Each structure stands twice: as C-alpha cells, then as structure tokens.
Amino acid sequence: MPVPTFLAWCATLLLPVVVAHLPLAHAQPAPPHTDAAEFRACLQGLREAPAFRAVTPATFATHTDGLVPDASVLLLLDRQPEFTLAPWDYLAVLVDAERVADGRAGYARWQDTLAQIERQTGVAAPIVVGVWGVESNFGQNLGGRPLVQSLATLSCFGRRQGYFRGELAAALRILQEGHVAPQQFNGSWAGAFGQTQFMPSTFLRSAVDFDGDGRRDIVGSVPDALASTARFLQTAGWRRGEPWGFEVRLPAGFDGGGGRKHKRPLADWRRLGLTLPSGAPLPDTLATAGLLQPARGGPAFLVGRNFDALYSYNASENYALAIAHLADLVAHADAPLAFATPWPTDDPGLSRAKNRELQTLLLARGHDIGAADGLIGDKTRAAIRQEQQRLGLKTDGRAGQKLLDALRRP
C-alpha cells in the first residue's frame, strides 16, 4: 500500500505479524478519548475546511451524518512496534508455495489483460501479479473496516490528523464520483483499500478505469486493480524491459557495498568480484545497480531502479524483495522457492501452511487463539510465549521451525 514511511510498519494487511506486541494482559492501554459531541463538532468544521472544497455538501452529509467514531483505530495508530520480523520470517509467509501457485493461476487467468497492461505501461506482468499477491492475496483480503468511519475518526482524534483529513477528503471524492460502492468501501484501519491497497489520495492520482465501464473500481474489478498497480509503478519510475535485479554471489570476505541506493555500473561490480550464484558473469540487464543484503551472511542481490519503484509502494526493502521474488517464481515454473544462498539462521521461518499447523497444535494444547488462519496475531503470539517457556526455549513469541518441531513431538 503506497503510504508515507511513518505508516509503512502498519501497512500490509496480510502481515499483522510485521509488528508484534506484548500480550494484551501486559499492555492493554486505556481506551482512547473519542467524545461524540466533539466528533460532531470536528466533522462540522471539516465540512467548511479548504481540503474538502471538492466535496459537495450533499456527499459530505450522506456519508458522515450519524457517523460515530471508532476508537479501535486510535489504538492501532498508537501501537509501537516491539518485535520486528527477520527477513526470512517475513518472506516465508509472503512468498510460500500456496501464494506462488495462486499467483501462477492468476497470471494464467488474466494473461490477456496483463499483456495489454504491460504494453501500455511497460511494467512486467509478473511484477503486477506479485504486488497483487502481496497486497491483497489476489483480491481475497481487502480489509473489513468502513473506510469513512476509520478516516473520520483519525481526522478528529489522535496524532496525524492533518494527514488523515486529506485522505478523508479523497475518500469522499471517490464516493462522490461513484467509483466504489459505499457498502464495498472498506479497508485497513489506516484507510488502504481495494485489491491494490491504495490510500484514497493514491487512488485519485494513480487508479485507472481499464475495463472501460467509466468507474475506477479497484475493489470489484481485477482489470482496474491490475492496471492501477502498473500505473503507480510506471509513475514511480519503472523502466520497461529492465529486471528488478537478481541474486548474486559475493566474493569471500566482501564487506559493504553501500546499500541499495549506492548504485554503480555493472562493470564495477564485476571488477569487485561479484558473479551470479552459478559463478557466471553478471549480465548487463541493469543500467546501474545497488547491493541489497537484508541480513549479513545471507543472500545478496543487485537491484536497479525498478526495485526502487517497488520500494515506493510500501517503503520497506523486505516488502519490495517479497514482491520481486514472488514475481520471479510466478514467471518461471522451475524457479526454486529458496534463494541460492540460505538465510543465516538455524531456525527458519514458517509458511502459512506451517503457521496453520502450529496454530492447530496450539489449539490442541488448549490455547484460546481463535481459528487456525495462518496469521500470527496477538493471541497466537501469547500462546507461543507460554509454550516456549514450558519447553525451555527463548521466550520471544516468534513462530519458527524449532517450536513447530517441538510441538509436533507427542
């Protein structure tokens, strides 16, 4: 979801695990202040505010009369990340065998549409499929919070009210122009919505009516959603015909490289001793490239400008790498799920299938964690901590292979 950096940590719907938190019993904050009369007065003021100039009084009234604030979005706004996923945990969930299979099916089903989009925008079809899979699991996970209610609450209470007022005004314009049906206008707590998980202001800048029905409908129309993603990446500087990058092998003792933004010609990297994982010389498919190494001792990649375009979608290198890797796997039926250089860990991350197995084992042990949905939320994490404590493992709330192995033992 294209958002400013400050929201990046909370962005991707599919990953409530990107940031994890203390068990609820340890850190349940007081319910935030959301006074109804204050909310009404705030909305009354917004109606006249310059940011809402393009919203008619009728639109404003239709979608805000009788609205009540939703205090739960303020709790989410103020959560502080306590636990950041390692790249191998992040990629294990976002790029697993299920998502690759679903991506190949989606690629096959929409290949004509995707080919047209690629011709028009230059953005490679597998990349568009990769974004679709990471943002909304190919349209299956759109977020269920009423967008106007969330954004109106965030516009009147809490920090960042100015930012959210702009998004609320954009959301009301989207409804006014009839692009998305009001009853379908739901999304993440922060206001990202649709199969592309655009913020409303991003929608106004980048969304496309590709199926030609006069509406830019990134919720209900797959062609509109795919074309809107491609338009966003095109605007972010996507270069037709260039790959995002590729995995490389570093020479022994190689240190540094300066990071993704420090770009050099491929000839420089060859001189420094970098090769493809097979040992073959680096190809000249990138104009310039920077070195991305998410974890010291783990896989390394040379990445070009197109990787930067992916980064602009969510301001996270791991996120951009997940899209890039998923796109490669969608495009190449024989590509292996694992990178050539393994991640530097003896306790690998879990796929969604393994997360579901872990949750089923936790349920069998009497933990009240709800459904085994493959998403590691607060309840699952609290149960994991209890089991880790019982088993004498490091009590960090992380869902990993060692814990799964321990729970599998009878």
Which residues contribute to the site for Ca ion (CB under 5 A)? Answer: 209, 211, 213, 215, 217, 221, 224
- Per the structure block, which two tokens stand in for 53? 């100039």
Count CA within 13 A, CB hemisphere, residue 176: 19
Residue closer to Ca ion (CB basis): 118 or 224: 224
Residue closer to Ca ion (CB basis): 210 or 244: 210
- The SS3 call for residue 349 is strand
Shortest distance in whole angstroms from residue 119 CB to Ca ion: 18
Shortest distance in whole angstroms from residue 121 CB to Ca ion: 16
Shortest distance in whole angstroms from residue 201 CB to Ca ion: 19
DSSP label of 264: E
Shortest distance in whole angstroms from residue 206 CB to Ca ion: 14
Which residues, at least 6 apart from 18, have a Cβ–Cβ distance to it below 8 Å? Answer: 9, 10, 11, 12, 81, 84, 85, 90
Shortest distance in whole angstroms from residue 12 CB to Ca ion: 25
Shortest distance in whole angstroms from residue 220 CB to Ca ion: 8
Give dist(CA 395, CA 366) in Å, integer.
Answer: 19
Shortest distance in whole angstroms from residue 328 CB to Ca ion: 30
Shortest distance in whole angstroms from residue 166 CB to Ca ion: 24
